[in-house]
Amino acid sequence: GIAGLTTARALQRRGLDVVVAAREWSARTTSAGAGGLWMPFHAEPADAVARWASVTLSCLLEEQRSSAALGAFIESLPATELFRAEAPPPPPPPPPPLRDAPPLPAEDDSAVGRKQPSPRSAMSTSMSSPDLRAAAADRWPAPMPIAAGALPAEVEAQLARLSNRNRPSHYRWTSPLLEAIASGAAPQVSDLSSSVRGRPLFLVAGACPSMLAGMQVVMFTAMDAGEGGGQALDFWWVKPREGEASSLEAQTLHRHSRGPHKNDPGRSKAVYGPIAKLWDGEDGLRASRGALRFGFGSDSGLSSAWIESVATGERYHLCLVWLEEWSSPFARNKFMRGKMVYRRRANGGFFARPLSIVNDTIAVGTGVADVEDVGAAPLPPDGIKLGCYEVPLKESPS
């Protein structure tokens, strides 16, 4: 037991096991899914388990005082306080209906985009990439609608079991920015430390807020490369207005390296950097094992970042990447699982597909059942959280 550890060296060897055990014990005594790698203990500040974990972590960081502090703390606690059962937390309030969001223009997606795919053998292997994209219009799978607005009870029950408590409806403050990106009218932004300008391409949401960070999303931006021409992909945090969580803080549209609106990626650059690297030359093609191409610029009436299937020419114009699950930054095998929200053409509707990144590989779900119709708005309903799985590389067309 921990109380028997008498040296800082022994504590360091056992400290990680203690924290993991505390997390597992907390998960068993709270509602399903309340735990998780980055989820805090569901407890009051004075709760014994939270204090136990806090002291343990403090000991790991301050080796000289580790054994004495932890031993004294545990010896002062009665056994009943360490292992008392706790009542499950109340369920989160249901999100407000989507009709409360800012009004959106109606999107009229053509009927062509909803046809069942025709046999691949009908496509000519000698077609150029634009020809492939034109022929692909007859091959789009029928989208599978997901719950919108008020969620059915069974969907709500499934969402309650997920470890990631964040939901798309929590990010309505990003709706004006997402709509501007999707319509090709994204505002011009700047890196204030270098005066380089650019335009937002897509957002990555779902990981924050967490135990380590507040509410924010990552904005990926096409930045001017200077006199040599061309553009490069950069990213930084975008946040809601302080004291007004339903509105975006306009200052964070620009990249700040210091000051009250500091929002550069910092340590998160190692986490989100692999996503940006997909749009760097042929890196995306290699990461998908030759199945996908990545690019950004004006195409099909849209100025966007896009992912294209090499085999079919189908091009997905990104608006949002939803992250549902991810590994620790310190894990040997790193992964991200979620869905990408995109549109096929200007003035069209929005759709979603599963997307997963495992170490240095990326895959997108291409099956008929993978396509979800998320409606006329780029911010999807909460039901998009369901069905985020690790897409096998073999599912990507080759």
Chain segment 12-31, per-residue pLDDT in tens: 444 444 444 444 444 444 43
Task: Name, of 42-56, 89-103, 216-230, 259-273, the range with top average pLDDT.
Answer: 259-273
Predicted confidence band of residue 323 (pLDDT cuts 50, 70, 90)? very high
Question: What kind and span of H or E run contains 74?
Answer: helix 66-75
pLDDT for the residue 75: 57
Contact partners, residue 15, CB within 8 Å, separation at least 6:
56, 57, 59, 60, 66
DSSP state of 283: H
Q: Average model confidence (pLDDT) for the chain?
A: 72
Instruction: Using DSSP bridges, classify how beta strands 244-248 and 315-326 pair: parallel, antiparallel or unpaired.
Output: unpaired
DSSP state of 255: B
pLDDT tops 60 at residue 281: yes
Q: Any idea of the CA torsion for 152, 154, 158, 161, to the nearest 10 degrees?
A: 110
Q: Phi and psi at residue 311, in whole multiples of 5°?
A: -75, -40
Predicted confidence band of residue 57 (pLDDT cuts 50, 70, 90)? low
Rounded CA separation 56/85 (Å): 21
In the numeric block, which tokens belong to residue 116? 């069942």
Rounded CA separation 68/122 (Å): 74
Report yes or no: 42 and 89 within 8 Å, Cβ to Cβ: yes
How many H-runs (helices) and E-runs (strands) does the chain carry? 9, 14
C-alpha distance from residue 257 to each of 48, 192, 314 (Å) = 39, 8, 38
Rounded CA separation 347/183 (Å): 8
pLDDT for the residue 153: 85
In the numeric block, which tokens belong to residue 200? 């937002």
Q: Any idea of the CA torsion for 127, 132, 134, 140, to the nearest 10 degrees?
A: 140
Instruction: Using DSSP bridges, classify how beta strands 302-309 and 315-326 pair: parallel, antiparallel or unpaired.
Output: antiparallel
pLDDT for the residue 22: 45
